[in-house]
Amino acid sequence: MIVGLVAPLPPLRGGITHFDVLLLDGLRSAGHTVVPISYRTLYPSFLFPGKSQFDDALALDPETRPLLKAWDPLTWVRTRAALKKAGVESLLLVHWHPFFAPCLRFLASFRPRQGIALYVHNAMPHENAWMGKLLNPLLYRAVDRMFIGSDAEAEVLRRVAPKVPVRTVIHPVHDRFRRFFPEMTTREARTRLGVSGDKPLLVHLGLVRPYKGVDILLEAIGRLPRGKVTLEVAGEFYDDRSTYEQIVERLGIRDEVTLTDRYLSDEDMALRLRAADAVVLPYRSVTQSGVAMAALSMGTPVIATRVGQLAQVIVHPEYGELVEPGNAAALAEAIERYLGRYKPGDAKLRRRIRKLADEQFGRWEQFADRMLRPESESA
């Protein structure tokens, strides 16, 4: 089948791009011919809170066409014409923020014979919910089927677009990080990262935004006995970094906490996933987490809140711990509970987690192929 994939792809950076690269590879592995269409840039510069929208280290797929600007209708018209000219038989759109809903809604006016599937990362945005309520329904009601990463978020989609079939699909692990440092031990990774001593290393990875709950994590670290753990919060701060520095100072945990304010390359991510004793994700809300799936892919346990897809992913006792969101005391208890049963640098545990996750969450070609088939064929 000739499949049109409209999604952010390299050199655009970020977790959505990582997902899309694996989705593109999965579609090809399933035997489909893919017409990948990306964005020239995601946001106007005055709306983008980070330092750059691009990662030049990411390999550009030679067939990717960077045609779109979400705020330029002329590029929408050109993209729809390109899809038609390529003979696209099925269209797969990737959606995560209402800013892109008008653009994708226009592209949905192209009606390929096998229909239009929409993969939704966030049923409603983490911030600016009013925008999601206004714009997202215009897109959701225009497609033939929708897919999302958690049952709770699927119910949101059903309320907004009750006539459109919705299915929960948990995507496979993010195995793209395995190619880095494949023979490196946890201790070697810690040394390369500059972490000294034998205290357990916890990491929080990815963009720092209010919904990620980093403030709750810092409060939880402040409740632990001094010197119990080392924590690195690593990722570009889209929130005011001084807010977190003030929490660190107030709690007197500067010796335990490192704030690394910069975008993490794939190699940066892989090194921390190999070095860490656990990834901690204290999200207030989330649909799904690419960081969690990257961690499990590397065999790194996850301590997370019981929100969105995380509640459906961190189910095996060896995967880590789940706690209710917004509760620093409960998170501190979960960290202590986890450390009480975990042997730092346990290579056997990491291999078990990796094997379990591969078996539980399947392969990307199966995941991708499922979204191209009508509900009756993929039940």
Tokens read off for 363: 């392969």
pLDDT of residue 120: 96
pTM of the model: 0.88
pLDDT digits (tens, 9 = 90+) for 323-354: 999 999 999 999 999 999 888 778 999 999 99
Interatomic CA distance for residues 301 and 321, integer angstroms: 8
Question: Taking all residues of the chain, what is their mean pLDDT, rounded to a whole number?
Answer: 92
pLDDT of residue 219: 98
* Residue 375's pLDDT band (cuts 50, 70, 90): low
Interatomic CA distance for residues 316 and 306, integer angstroms: 14
Interatomic CA distance for residues 348 and 183, integer angstroms: 14
pLDDT of residue 129: 77
Q: Which of 240-244, 271-275, 347-351, 374-378 has the lowest mean pLDDT?
A: 374-378
Tokens read off for 168: 């929960």
Compute φ and ψ for 167, nearest 5 degrees. Answer: -130, 140
Decide: 54 and 66 in contact? Cβ < 8 Å. no
**Mean pLDDT throughout 255-279?**
95
Task: Say what percent of the chain tops pLDDT 90.
Answer: 78
**pLDDT top residue among 51 and 264:** 264
The answer on pLDDT for 57 being more than 90 is no
Interatomic CA distance for residues 83 and 108, integer angstroms: 11
pLDDT of residue 154: 94
The answer on pLDDT for 364 being more than 90 is yes
Question: What radius of gyration, in Å, describes the C-alpha atoms of the chain?
Answer: 21
pLDDT digits (tens, 9 = 90+) for 129-171: 788 899 999 999 999 999 999 898 999 999 999 999 999 999 9
pLDDT digits (tens, 9 = 90+) for 93-129: 999 999 999 999 999 999 999 999 999 999 988 766 7
pLDDT of residue 378: 43
Q: Which residue has the tokens 């945005």?
A: 125
The answer on pLDDT for 14 being more than 90 is no
pLDDT of residue 21: 93
Three-state DSSP class for 278?
strand
pLDDT of residue 302: 97
The answer on pLDDT for 379 being more than 60 is no
| Domains of the chain, start order | 2-172+362-378 (3.40.50.2000), 177-360 (3.40.50.2000)
